[in-house]
Amino acid sequence: MKRRNFLQKAALGSVGITTLGTSLRATAATSKKAKTTLRSQTSDASLPVVIATWSVAQATQKAWQSLQEGSSALDAVIAGCGVEEANAKGQSVGIGGLPDREGRVTLDACVMNEKGNYGAVLCMQNIKHPIAVAKKVMEDTPHVIMAGGGAEQFAVSQGFERENLLTEQSKKDWETWRQTSKYKPIINIENHDTIGMLAIDTNGTISGGCTTSGLAYKMAGRVGDSAIIGSGLFVDNEIGAATATGLGEEVLKTVGSFLIVELMRQGKSPQQACEQAILRIIEKTPNIQDFQVGYIAVNKKGETGAYSIHEGFTTTTYQHQKNTISNSDFYNKK
């Protein structure tokens, strides 16, 4: 599943959908010394709202419908992300995810709710819905993170079924990679498709979730940003929320989602905050040509923002009475 090549036209149901992608092209002009003017762009605010990384119309619509049916923002996010986790054709989250270099599909996911509670699973195998397990960790254990075999065992104890997550296609792709890769994980802008999703219900209650199979052909045991609080996801019900996709190592080193929420606390719009978090990575990393990172954010009013290092990042937004589909061409063309 390569979502970089969009624009995917999502079906417009009775609700509105806005698909926007914003990006900042990596050029010499965005080097350490370059000054980049931050643009102020936000969508019209209204509640409820669901925003997700990438063009995941079905997942976002599911979350939207769940909100209409009275689900909490958290359950809406879990239902939405679950759509992609169950999609065996998708090679980035849940079943069908591309494996690590040993051929094992290992999943990371987390959730965070309006009370500031958080739950996560890291490097979990054989369970298709890590985001639902993350909620169980948050609600039914005294812990916030469970990893590996322990996380899997916990999931099974909670009624989740073990199943083989390595599809024929992903196995085939892995075998091809093994023959040609010299055993190095792929670190480039093509391999980032984590689903991060943020939702606000009509009462203004904010929750979020993030789910991934991580970097394709990663070293066994590697964990990225997606399930780590403050990096792949952060929610502060007083302020807003942010989530990330892309090379987790760079998001982790800059604690990107927490940074975005703190910038919004200081008065930045979601768009400005996402742009600043991307600039933070650009300032600190010389080789931005080699990887992609994208952020999305929402504030308490329901304004949204999105930004990425490179062109090609998309987001899917459901917000009341909006009927536009667009690819914002928001990258630095200097």
- Which residues are marked as active site? 194
Site for ligand ASP in 211-250 (CB under 6 A): 212, 214-215, 224-226, 245-248
Report how far apart, in Å, the C-alpha atoms of 325 and of each of 60, 146, 152, 294, 310 are.
14, 39, 39, 19, 20
Buried-exposed string 19-38: b where 16+ CB fall within 10 A, e elsewhere: bbbbbbbbeeebeeeeebeb
Round to whole Å and give the CA distance between 226 and 233. 7
**In terms of CB distance, is 5 or 141 closer to ligand ASP?**
5
Instruction: Count interface residues toward ligand ASP (CB under 6 A).
Output: 14
Site for ligand ASP in 107-166 (CB under 6 A): none
Q: Please, which residues have CB within 8 angstroms of residue 170's CB and are 6 or more apart in sequence?
A: 91, 96, 97, 98, 99, 105
Nearest approach, Cβ of residue 193 and ligand ASP (Å) = 5
Site for ligand ASP in 189-218 (CB under 6 A): 192-194, 212, 214-215
For residue 295, list its beta bridge partners: 244, 307
- Give the interface segment with ligand ASP, choosing from 23-31, 71-79, 186-194, 197-205 (CB under 6 A): 186-194
Print the binding letters for residues 18-57 with ligand ASP: x by CB under 6 A, - otherwise.
----------------------------------------
**In terms of CB distance, is 47 or 98 closer to ligand ASP?**
98
**In terms of CB distance, is 106 or 299 closer to ligand ASP?**
106
Contact between 315 and 271 under an 8 Å Cβ cutoff? The reply is: no
Report which secondary-structure segment, H or E, holds 17.
Answer: strand 17-20
Nearest approach, Cβ of residue 230 and ligand ASP (Å) = 14
Site for ligand ASP in 247-306 (CB under 6 A): 247-248
Nearest approach, Cβ of residue 321 and ligand ASP (Å) = 31
Q: Which of 282, 322, 288 is nearest to 302 (CA)?
A: 322
For residue 112, list its beta bridge partners: 118, 208
Nearest approach, Cβ of residue 29 and ligand ASP (Å) = 26
> How many C-beta atoms lie closer than 10 Å to residue 94's C-beta?
28
Print the binding letters for residues 53-92 with ligand ASP: x by CB under 6 A, - otherwise.
---------------------------------------x
Cβ-in-10-Å burial (0-12, 13-18, 19+) of 270 comes to: buried
**In terms of CB distance, is 104 or 322 closer to ligand ASP?**
104
Contact between 103 and 89 under an 8 Å Cβ cutoff? The reply is: no
Nearest approach, Cβ of residue 213 and ligand ASP (Å) = 8
**In terms of CB distance, is 108 or 114 closer to ligand ASP?**
108
Structure tokens at 126: 């054989």
Nearest approach, Cβ of residue 32 and ligand ASP (Å) = 24
**In terms of CB distance, is 43 or 222 closer to ligand ASP?**
222
> How many C-beta atoms lie closer than 10 Å to residue 298's C-beta?
32
Round to whole Å and give the CA distance between 133 and 16. 30
**In terms of CB distance, is 61 or 226 closer to ligand ASP?**
226
> How many C-beta atoms lie closer than 10 Å to residue 173's C-beta?
16
Nearest approach, Cβ of residue 227 and ligand ASP (Å) = 8
Give me the residues that bind ligand ASP (CB under 6 A), please.
Answer: 92, 192-194, 212, 214-215, 224-226, 245-248
